[in-house]
Amino acid sequence: RVLAAEYSRHNVRVNAVCPTMVDTPMAWRTIATHADPEAWLREVAAGIPLGRIGKPEEIAGVVAFLASDSASFMTGSIVAVDGGRTVL
């Protein structure tokens, strides 16, 4: 938010996208370290109100929106893209 305030005078917007676990190779490297990866993934998903981990395209859609003219009056925002996990 400090950066948003600092750079706003240059018409630069600063927002943060905060995803939960996303179905990516990097996430699967972490998942694979558990004794029972599928059980661990089910446990993680159970802690997310939407009941699953995110998809890369879901995160990309939010980023595309923030980079678009549709978000031209949006700066200093923290956008949780986490299936509702942070509402718990």
Q: What is the CATH number of the domain that holds 64?
A: 3.40.50.720
In a domain, 18, yes or no: yes
Instruction: Please say whether the beta carbons of 3 and 35 come within 8 A.
Output: no
Domain of residue 26 covers 2-83
User: Is the pLDDT score of 88 beyond 90?
Assistant: no
What single letter denotes the amino acid at residue 74? M
Tell me, what's the pLDDT at 50? 98
CA angle 38, 49, 28 (to 5 degrees): 30
Query: Whole-number mean pLDDT of the chain?
Result: 97
Q: In a 3-state reduction of DSSP, which class is residue 17?
A: strand
Q: Mean per-residue pLDDT for 55-71?
A: 98
Q: Mean per-residue pLDDT for 68-85?
A: 98
In a domain, 88, yes or no: no
Q: Mean per-residue pLDDT for 18-36?
A: 97
How many domains is the chain built from? 1
Q: Where are the alpha helices (DSSP H) in the chain?
A: 2-7, 25-31, 37-46, 56-67
